[in-house]
Structure 1
Amino acid sequence: MTEVLTFGIEEEFLVVDERGRPSHAADAVLDSADDTDGDLQHELTRAQAESATEVCRTRTEAVEQLQSMRAALARAAARRGLRILPCATPPVAARERPAITPKPRYRLMAAHFGATARTTLTCGCHIHVGVPDPETGTRVIGHVRPWLPALLTVTANSAIAGGLDTGYCSWRHRQWSQWPSAGPPPRFASHAEYEGIVEAWLRAGAILDRGMIYWDVRLSENQPTVEFRVADVAATPEEAALLAVLCRGLVATVLGCGEPPNLSNEVLRGQLWRAAREGVTGCCPDPATGELRPALEVLTRLAEFCAPALDAAGDTAFVREGLARLARDGGGADRQRRRFAVREDAADVVDEFAVPG
C-alpha cells in the first residue's frame, strides 16, 4: 500500500514562569495569542496549552504550522513574563499543585478521579492518521500495536522531573499510566469488541465520556482517524514531524494487511516500560521477536518496513536524516540529562528547551 494519507499533529506544552515552575496563567496566554494556522486549545490544567495542526498532506505543512503555533504561544507567554516549554513533565517542581481549567468537564474529571487528575501534569504528542472507517481503523490498531514501544522512543522527552533525574526517558508515559483507560490497547477481534470495552468503562465510571479513551493508540472521536497517543511532546517541531511521518507510513503499510499479530497485552505493557526507561539511544524490544535491540536499529527496520509508503509521500530522506540526527545528538531525554548534569539544576533544562519568545 503506497497511498499518501492525511495526518495531523497535536502538541501539549507546559506554561511556566521564568524559573520554570508551572504557572496558572495558560488561559491568559491562550486568549491573547496571535492568530495562526492550526488551533490553540485549553487543557486539563491551567499550566498547559495545546496546539493542533490543520489536516496536513506533507511534512512541510506540518512543520510550518507547528513552528507558527509554538511561536505564537511563546510570544503571548513572554508578554506576561512566562515561557512555553516543550517538555513532557515539569523539570522544575511546582510550588503548588496545578489549578484545574475552569470548564465543567475538567472540574467533573478532577472531582471524579481525584489525585490522578490533580497531580498528573504531563504533555504528549498525538498523531492522527486518516483511515476509511472504524472497522478498518480497529484492524490498523491491531497491526501497529507491536511498534508502539519503538514509536515511544522517538520523542521520549521527560527524563528530568521535579528537579530530579527520574531514571526514565519517558517519565510521562509512566505517570500517564495512572489513568484507568491509559496504556496499550488489546488486540481487538472486531470494532464491536472495541465498542464493548468502551461501553463497559462508561458503565463502571472508569471514563466519564468517550474523550477519555486514553489508549496509546485509539480511534479518534472527532475525526476519521487512528490517533497515536503513546508519545511525549517533542522537543522540536522536526522531531514531532518525524514521529508523524513514521506513524503515517506505518498506517499506510498495514491498511491492506489481514489478521493482526497475536501479541499479549501484558507482554506489550512490559515492552513499553522498557522503551520508556531507555528511550531512543537505549534498547527497545524488536516487534517480531521481542528481543532487545538498539532502538535506532528497530526504528530503521520500521522505516524499511514502511519504505514504499515513505517513498510515495516523499519522506524517505527526511526520516533517514531525522534518525541520523537522533543517533548523533540523542533524543529529548538525552539532551535534558546532558544539560542537567552540568550543575544538577533543572532550571538549566528549562533554559535549553523553552520556545524563544
Structure 2
Amino acid sequence: MNPDVLTFGIEEEFFVVDRHGHLSQAGDDVVDAAEAAADDHGALQHELTRSQAEAATDVCRTHGEALRQLRDLRGGLAAAARRRGCRLLPAGAPLLSEVDPPSITPNPRYERMAEHFGATARTSLTCGCHVHVAIPGKEQGIRVLGWVRPWLPALLTLTANSAIADGYDTGYSSWRYQQWSRWPSAGPPPRFASLDEYESIVDGWLRAGSILDRGMIYWDVRLSEKQPTLEFRIADVAATPEEAVLLGVLARGLVATALADDAPPPELSNEVLRAQLWRASREGATGCCPHPRTGDLEPAKAVLDELVELTAPALEAAGDLEFAREGTARLAAEGGGADRQRRVFAERRRGEDVVDLLTGSD
C-alpha cells in the first residue's frame, strides 16, 4: 500500500426493529450487548433515539479492511438484536407506520436536543452513512470541500435506500434526505472563500441557537470536529456493506483528486446545488442525475462512470479501481437499495416484505 494514500473510515446508523418490523426501544441494549461481545476493531455507539444503533470502523487504508470491519460490526449488532427478539434494519427511514415516535436515548445532550428542536428531533427518524477522509489541514479541507460539492448529487444516488417509508412508496429513492433536510443546519454547504467564512457561519448558527454545539453542523460535507478529516454526510445507510464501502472509496478518490488539483473550486450556487440534490434524492442509482459540470440531467450510471474515471488515478493508487468499477456496474445492472425495496414492495404492497429483504429474513 502506498504510504501516501489517504486513510478513511465509515460510520453507519441502523434501526432496531421488533420481529414484525416496527421500531423497538431496545437499541441501547443491543449496542451494549454487541459491544461486550465485540473484538478490538471498530466502535459501537448509541444514537439519538432508543430505536437506533451506530457502528464505526477504525481508520482504514484499504477497501478490504473497511469491508471486513463493516461486515463484522453489522454481524455483531444483528446477533445482539436477534438475542432480544429484534432485527437490525439497514434502511434510511422507518419502513412501517408508527403510532408514536421512539423514546430519546437518555443522554443529556440528546435530551437537550429533543427539548430545543421539538418535533424535528423526535420525528426526523433517519439513518445515514458517514465517510471520513483524512486531510492535511482545515485550510486545505475548505478548498477540497468546494471542489467536491458538485459531486454530492452523484454520491447521494449511490446508497439511496429509503424509497419505502411509513408503509408506502414515497416517490423518492432517498426519502431520508428529504426528512433530514428539516434540520436548520442540514443541506449542501456553500462554496467557502476561506476557513474564516466557514467559522463565521457556524458562529452565527450558535448565536441564533439553530445549533446547540459544533457536533450539530449537519452540512452534507463538513470539516470533522473530532478528527483531521473531511466528513461526507450525504448518504443513506447502505443496504449492504459493499455499497457502503463503494461510497467510501469514491469519497476518498474525490478528496485525493481534489488535493492534487490546483484549480480553484468550481462556481455553483447553493440554490442550484440544493435543486440538484432534490433531483438525485428522487431518482437514485437507476434514474437521472444532474451532471456536475453542466447541470443537465444524464443517466446516473453515466455520471457515476465519469466520477470513477475522474478519480481513476487516485483509485488505482489506493487499490480501489477495480472494486469501484465493479460496484458501479453492479448498481447500474441490478439497482441500488431503493430499487430493491420497490421491487419487493410492488409484489404485495407490504412494508413488512421490505423489512424481511433488508434484514435477511425469510
Query: SS in structure 2 opposite 1:215?
Result: coil
Runs of 4+ in 1 over 4 A off after TM superposition: none
Say which of 252, 255, 277 aligns to 1:251: 255
Query: SS in structure 2 opposite 1:73?
Result: helix
Sort the Cα spacing of 1:304 and 1:49 in 2 relative to 1 into closer, same or farther, 3 A.
Answer: same
Structure 2 unaligned spans of 5+: none
Say which of 332, 339, 361 aligns to 1:334: 339
- Alpha-carbon distance in 2 for matches of 1:70, 1:94: 24
The answer to whether the 8 A contact 1:15-1:22 is kept is yes
Structure 1 partner of 2:226: 222
Structure 2 partner of 1:163: 167
- Alpha-carbon distance in 2 for matches of 1:187, 1:227: 16
Structure 2 partner of 1:263: 268
Equivalent AA in structure 1 for residue 76 of structure 2: A
- Alpha-carbon distance in 1 for matches of 2:301, 2:5: 25
Query: SS in structure 1 opposite 2:97?
Result: coil
Deviation at 1:355, TM superposition (A): 5.2
The answer to whether the 8 A contact 1:84-1:355 is kept is no
Say which of 51, 59, 63 aligns to 2:63: 59
Residue 129, structure 1, aligned to residue 129, structure 2:
no
Equivalent AA in structure 2 for residue 271 of structure 1: Q
The answer to whether the 8 A contact 1:21-1:95 is kept is no
Sort the Cα spacing of 1:105 and 1:355 in 2 relative to 1 into closer, same or farther, 3 A.
Answer: farther
Equivalent AA in structure 2 for residue 177 of structure 1: S
TM-score (norm 2): 0.97
Structure 2 partner of 1:35: 38
Deviation at 1:92, TM superposition (A): 1.1
The answer to whether the 8 A contact 1:30-1:49 is kept is yes
Structure 2 partner of 1:68: 72
Query: SS in structure 2 opposite 1:54?
Result: coil
Say which of 319, 322, 333 aligns to 1:317: 322
Residue identity over aligned pairs, in percent, reads: 67
The 5 A counterparts of 1:1-357 are 3-33=4-34, 34-36=37-39, 37-257=41-261, 258-354=263-359
Equivalent AA in structure 1 for residue 15 of structure 2: L
Deviation at 1:96, TM superposition (A): 1.4
Deviation at 1:95, TM superposition (A): 3.1
- Alpha-carbon distance in 2 for matches of 1:243, 1:315: 11
Considering only aligned residues, what root-mean-square deviation do their CA atoms show, in Å? 1.3
Deviation at 1:94, TM superposition (A): 2.0
Equivalent AA in structure 2 for residue 29 of structure 1: V
Please give the per-residue CA displacement for 1:301-320, whole angstroms capped at 9, x wherever unaligned.
Answer: 00110010011011111111
Please give the per-residue CA displacement for 1:256-299, whole angstroms capped at 9, x wherever unaligned.
Answer: 33311110000000000000000010000000100000011001
TM-score (norm 1): 0.98
More displaced 10-residue stretch of structure 1: 62-71 or 253-262: 253-262
Structure 1 unaligned spans of 5+: none
The answer to whether the 8 A contact 1:116-1:178 is kept is yes
More displaced 10-residue stretch of structure 1: 170-179 or 35-44: 35-44
- Alpha-carbon distance in 1 for matches of 2:193, 2:302: 31
Paired residues, number: 357
Equivalent AA in structure 2 for residue 64 of structure 1: R
Equivalent AA in structure 1 for residue 184 of structure 2: P
Please give the per-residue CA displacement for 1:25-62, whole angstroms capped at 9, x wherever unaligned.
Answer: 10111111121320000000001000000000000000
- Alpha-carbon distance in 1 for matches of 2:97, 2:13: 18
- Alpha-carbon distance in 2 for matches of 1:149, 1:109: 28
